Structure 1
Amino acid sequence: MRSDARSNRLRILEAAAEVLALPGDTSLKSIARRAGVGQGTLYRHFPSRESLVLQVYGEEVEELTTAVPALLSTLCPSLALRAWLGRLVELGRCTPEFASAVHGATGTPTELCRQAHQPLLDALTALVDANEAAGTIAAGTTATDILLLVGPLWRVGTDEGDEEERARRARLFDVLMRGLCPLG
């Protein structure tokens, strides 16, 4: 990659991180404006909103994806899935833009959207496969199925100081896990 292209990419990522952290207009147009690049330049580097958002939260995505082998080596599959989904739910709850980008993988994603989400889907698929092999999850359950089920938890209890909402979120997460892994 040429140095000017690399510089544009970094400016876009920095601008996106700043814009996504603030309330208000988080459009790609506002991100391009803040980065000092045209929308065409932004789209050359990040062909979809989801790919940009997942790059902004790349460190968190990497932590999630690289955690799977350690979780599976130290916990039974159902507890590994529980621990991993707990991290995903917390990240999505604290960063609504991330949750929205991940949710984009659950519909009929474009190829570009699918590529942006693939590391998360692969990590979750490994956990699902381990649970299926252990007989702790219903055969045929997919990573996308689970992401659809997790989505509503991202919107529960966004006020960290509200004890009742925190308890509701924990209760709903337990219901989800008992439904996913009733034998685990």
Structure 2
Amino acid sequence: MSAVAKAAGVGQGSLYRHFPDRIELALAAFEDNVAELERLASDPAVTLGELLECITDRSIESVAFIDMIAPTTDDERLTAVTDRVIQALAAKVQPAIERGEVASDTTAEDLFLSVAMIATLVARTPLEQRRQVADRAWSLVRKGLV
């Protein structure tokens, strides 16, 4: 929190008045990203692949984004964000099934698990190699989803 306050040019007290803990700060920082996923999910012209690409882009840009949407705690605030991402994915599953892009038994939860697995791999990869690793991992996962 002190590094964030310093980068923002404010005192740590000011930061804590607006964001009582790290989770609140993360939620605020990534709200635009989650809202973008929801906007894409609501656009009939956007495919499942494009939505997954957006999530992958955010994973490559910020490991913290994935930590937030795939929480390892039972914090209800983080669970709510995870649910929003799963709902965004759910909006694209049936059209993807109808186009033969994924198997008929594919669920949004399956896709979210795939995102989490790939994001974990990407997080452990040097930044300059993340795109290549993510693309290769998605290539393998897509074979299993069809």
Specify if TM > 0.5: yes
Residue in structure 2 matched with residue 150 of structure 1 by the alignment: 115
Q: Which residue of 2 aligns with 1:93?
A: 60
How many angstroms does 1:118 deviate by? 3.0
- Is the 1:103–1:148 contact (alpha carbons within 8 Å) kept by the matching residues of 2? no
Pair 1:170 & 2:143 matched: no
For 1:83-113, what per-residue CA distance to the aligned partner results, in whole angstroms no more than 9, with x for missing partners?
1111101202221111111112xx7855443
1:35 aligns with 2:3: no
Query: Cα 1:16–1:54, aligned 2, differ >3 Å: closer, same or farther?
Result: farther
**How many positions carry a matched residue from both structures?**
139
What does 1:100-179 correspond to in 2, within 5 Å? 100-104=67-71, 109=74, 111-134=76-99, 136-154=101-119, 155-156=121-122, 157-160=125-128, 162=129, 166-179=131-144
Aligned with 1:73 (options 45, 49, 52): 45
TM-score, normalised via structure 2 length: 0.71
Corresponding residue for residue 27 of structure 2: 54
Within 1, Cα distance between the matches of 2:50 and 2:81? 23
Instruction: Give the secondary-structure state (helix, strand or coil) at the position aligned to 2:126.
Output: coil
Percent identical: 22
Q: Which one has the largest radius of gyration? A: 1
Is this contact kept in 1: 2:48–2:92, CA < 8 A? yes
Unaligned runs of 5+ in 2: none
RMSD, aligned CA: 3.4
**Correspondence for 2:50 among 69, 83, 87:** 83
Per the TM alignment, residue 166 of structure 1 is displaced from its structure 2 partner at its CA by 3.8
- Go from structure 1 to structure 2 and tell me whether the alpha carbon gap of 1:63 and 1:36 turns closer, same or farther (over 3 Å shift): closer
**Hey, what does 1:26 align to over in structure 2?**
none
Q: Measure the CA separation in 2 of the matches of 1:35 and 1:63.
A: 25
Unaligned runs of 5+ in 1: 1-14, 22-31, 75-79
Conserved in 2, the CA contact under 8 Å of 1:153 and 1:169?
A: yes
- Measured in 2, the distance between the counterparts of 1:172 and 1:141 equals 18
Q: CA deviation at 1:36?
A: 4.1
**C-alpha deviations, 1:4-34, integer Å up to 9, x for none?**
xxxxxxxxxxx69936x8xxxxxxxxxx757
